[in-house]
Amino acid sequence: MCTILTLALEYPLGTDAIGRNLFVMFLHGIKMSLYIGLITAVISMAVGMPIGVISGIRGGPFLDKVLMGITNLVLAVPSWLVAILFAAMVPIEQRGPELIDLILGLFSWPWFARAIRAQFYSLREREFVCLSRMTGYSNSRIAFEDLLPNIGSFVVSGITIVLLMVSLQLIATRA
């Protein structure tokens, strides 16, 4: 029979009713949350970044409205309701962290797309971009050589925000 142990050097957070070390369980939970958050950030960045770049560079009246309309539609859908419905349709043996990654990644990309589009809109009127246009560079060359390097810190902070957002969502669902 195991008793609940209080705080000690061997068990910094104590143990639960069956004698498991709560600190080890806490570290395992953090590892899983960071794994899910990182994969979610990569998926949402892989989907949102091209949409934001295309909308920010090529953004004519039709293409920009279509891409931002799709983005706003995904933002308007209650992601937790869709996640619950999607998880209910998947067999139990196929549910796992990968399913959570996919669902959260597919509903996190619109924030990246809108933010990257806004960054491109602010950068495309700067002098160095106008100089590149006067030199005859194509839109794709301007995007990859002039604009993308200038939003690198923004992308890193966006990934950090998604990691925090996913971690908080996972903590909230486990509480």
pLDDT band at residue 123, thresholds of 50, 70 and 90?
Answer: confident
Distance CA 153, CA 57 (A): 19
pLDDT digit string, tens, across residues 52-109? 988 888 777 899 899 999 999 998 988 778 878 887 888 888 778 788 788 888 888 8
Model-level pTM? 0.72
Task: Name the band, by pLDDT with cuts 50, 70 and 90, for residue 174.
Answer: low
Asked if residues 48 and 110 have their Cβ atoms less than 8 Å apart, the reply is yes
- Domain parsing of the chain, residue ranges: 41-174
Radius of gyration (Cα) for the chain, nearest Å?
Answer: 22
Q: What rounded mean pLDDT belongs to the chain?
A: 82
pLDDT band at residue 172 using 50, 70 and 90 as cut-offs: low
